[in-house]
Amino acid sequence: MIWISTRWKLLLMLAPALVAFTMFVVYPVVYSGVFSFTRFQGFGDPKWIGLGNYAELFADPFFWQALQNTVVILVVSLAILIPTAFALALLLRRKIAGSGALRALIFGPAIIAPILVGLIWVFILDPKIGLLNRFLVTLGLPAVPWIGGDVLSPVSVSVVFIWSSVGFAMTIFYAGLQQLPSDVIEAASIDGSSSWQTLRYVTIPMMKETFAIVTILMITNIFKIFELVYMLTGGGPVHRSETLVSYMYFVTFTNQQYGYGMALAVVITVLGAVVSAGYLALSRRKEQAA
């Protein structure tokens, strides 16, 4: 590769993406980051207050509640979503009539507007008029506060998130499975390993990058969940079911506290990046140890 890697060619290849990304993503983040040190309403003159917003953030019980909710969603979603999407991808790799159509349909929830995702699931999860509780009550069981209560909201949000993202994750796994060099798999089965052993000891290790990709995507997407929560519960009751971004939206646009909102946004970005990087580092270390 050294013959094509001249300085000039490198620059040519990298420049457009770097320029676009820096101008429209990095610069805005820095710009907003600067505002996080001010007291600002969105218009008028910002007032410099140093770390005041960050101090407020750490003392804000609603922030910690939102963080806790986000972490719960993270743990629950990752635990269920990744295996499920992978299993679905494996399932649909078999020769099934119309598997293309099935894959498209499973991808459907990822496409539908978040407004409607929230709306439909409210009709299912609402403690009083929702389908789920009506079903439970006819069976003689007590109604469960899936949303609108104190504890279960993050779990319910996870379920909705999993539902809407499984097609997305499955598609990436599917593409990854397709790129596997199958002579290794063939060799394993010739050697007499069962399909489960092939899966565990051959396929999955070869899909490491794919798993990493899906996990990082899901982590960052979970940190960015907003519309789902907003439609399901409005963040309530009294901010008890907020996620990080939905609380940031409330602070920035509903409360017009732009400076504080930007501090929240910076913290969210850093958290998302740190958790993803942490995951990457952990999986690198495991790979090296193996």
Q: Interaction with other proteins in 11-30: which residues (CB under 8 A)?
A: 12-14, 16-18, 20-21, 23-29
User: Which DSSP category does 151 fall into?
Assistant: S
Q: Which residue from 106, 73, 74 is spatially nearest to 276, judged by alpha carbons?
A: 74
Distance CA 120, CA 127 (A): 14
- Of 76 and 251, CB closest to other proteins: 251
CB of 196 to other proteins, least distance (A): 14
Quote the CA–CA distance of 229 and 261 in Å, as a whole number.
18
Note whether 75 binds other proteins by CB under 8 A: no
List binders of other proteins among 108-137 (CB under 8 A): 108-116, 119-129, 131
Number of residues in the chain: 290
Amino acid in position 99? S
Contact status: 283 vs other proteins (CB under 8 A)? no
Residue 175 is a binding residue for other proteins (CB under 8 A): yes
Binding of other proteins at residue 53 (CB under 8 A)?
no
Other C-beta atoms closer than 10 Å to the C-beta of 101 total 9
DSSP class of residue 50? T
Residue among 77, 171, 198, 203 that touches other proteins (CB under 8 A): 171
Check binding of 152 to other proteins (CB under 8 A). Answer: no
Of 48, 51, 58, 100, the one binding other proteins by CB under 8 A? 100
Restricting to residues 228-257, which ones interact with other proteins according to CB under 8 A?
Answer: 230-234, 236-240, 245, 248-250, 252-257
Q: How far is CA 224 from the centre of its chain?
A: 6
CA distance 257 to 81: 35
